[in-house]
A and B are shown apart, each in its own frame.
Chain A
Amino acid sequence: MKEDLLDIVCCPLDKHDLELDATEREDGEIVTGTLTCTECGETYPIEDGIPNLLPPDMRDEAPA
Chain B
Amino acid sequence: MTDDESPGDGPSTGSVRATYDRIAAHFSKTREYAWPEIETFLDDRSGAVGLDVGCGNGRHTELLAERCERALGVDLSREMLATARERSAERGFDYGLAQADASSLPVRNDRVDIAVFVATLPHLPTRESRVVALDELARVLSREGRALVSAWSTEHDRFDADEGFDTSVEWTLPGGEGVERFYHIYDPDEFRRDIEASGLELVDFEVSSGNCYGTVRPE
Contacts and interface: CB of A to CB of B under 8 A. Distances in A.
Interface of A: 1-2, 4-5, 7-13, 15, 44, 48-55, 58, 61-64
Contacts of B78: 50, 52
Contacts of A58: 13-14, 101
Interface of A is mostly: loop
Nearest to B74: A53
Report whether over half of chain B's contact residues are helix, strand or loop; otherwise say mixed.
mixed
B87 interface: no
A62 B182 CA distance: 15
Contacts of B101: 12, 54-55, 58
Interface of B: 12-15, 17-18, 21-22, 49, 70, 72, 74, 76, 78-79, 81-82, 85, 96-101, 104-109, 111
Contacts, number: 81
Contacts of B81: 50
A62 B108 CA distance: 27
A49 to B, nearest CB: 7
B100 A54 contact: yes
A5 B12 CA distance: 29
A28 B216 CA distance: 36
A8 B72 contact: yes
